[in-house]
């Protein structure tokens, strides 16, 4: 179940360290987050029709109220050896005029999280998929740039 949290009253939009409302979810055994403004809606997982020749992390297409939506498996995108998501949720994100689904193991919460940039030249950060890190009481959240993830598939 998603719980909505609000920003503390002392935070301002101009504050560079202000916490952003972040959707928290799990994939491939880790906790990730994305800007809630990137999310259109969240639906229960449903099986996608596979697209021949598509990368392994593209699960395929689903029909969502008469619109074909491409579904990506975030866990497989980050770790190609991982088993595909077979249950969980699909996060629907708007990218320009298109809607794309991101299959995740579990949608957890919405919280205000302060982003801490990361400095690295390797892995997902170099490809622009990881925006930074955030801190929770019980650990670290990897902040994913949903638009960069989707752009790699749609271009």
pLDDT 10s digits, 3-53: 333 333 333 333 445 678 899 999 888 899 998 988 999 999 999 999 999
pLDDT in the model for residue 106: 94
pLDDT tens-place string over residues 53-96: 998 889 999 999 999 999 999 888 887 788 888 899 999 998 77
pTM for this structure? 0.78
pLDDT in the model for residue 10: 35
pLDDT in the model for residue 96: 79
- pLDDT higher at 112 or 3: 112
pLDDT in the model for residue 4: 37
Phi, psi of 98 (to 5 degrees): -105, 155
Q: Specify whether the CB–CB gap between 40 and 23 falls below 8 A.
A: no
The residues spanned by each domain of the chain are 20-154
Tell the burial category of 133 from Cβ atoms under 10 Å away from its Cβ (0-12, 13-18, 19+).
middle
Identify the three-state secondary structure at position 54.
Answer: coil
Domain 20-154 superfamily per CATH: CheA-289, Domain 4 (2.40.50.180)
Q: Specify whether the CB–CB gap between 32 and 143 falls below 8 A.
A: yes
């Amino acid at each position: 179940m998603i719980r909505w949290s609000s920003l503390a009253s002392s935070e301002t939009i101009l504050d560079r360290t202000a916490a952003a409302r972040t959707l928290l979810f799990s994939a491939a055994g880790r906790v990730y987050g994305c800007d809630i403004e990137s999310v259109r809606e969240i639906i229960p997982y449903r099986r996608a029709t596979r697209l021949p020749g598509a990368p392994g992390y593209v699960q395929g297409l689903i029909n969502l109220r008469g619109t074909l939506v491409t579904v990506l498996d975030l866990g497989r995108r980050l770790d190609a050896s991982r088993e595909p998501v077979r249950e969980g949720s699909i996060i629907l994100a708007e990218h320009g005029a298109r809607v794309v689904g991101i299959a995740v193991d579990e949608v957890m919460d919405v919280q205000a999280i302060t982003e801490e940039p990361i400095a690295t030249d390797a892995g997902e950060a170099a490809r622009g998929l990881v925006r930074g890190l955030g801190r929770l009481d019980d650990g670290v959240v990897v902040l994913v740039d949903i638009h960069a993830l989707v752009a790699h598939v749609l271009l």
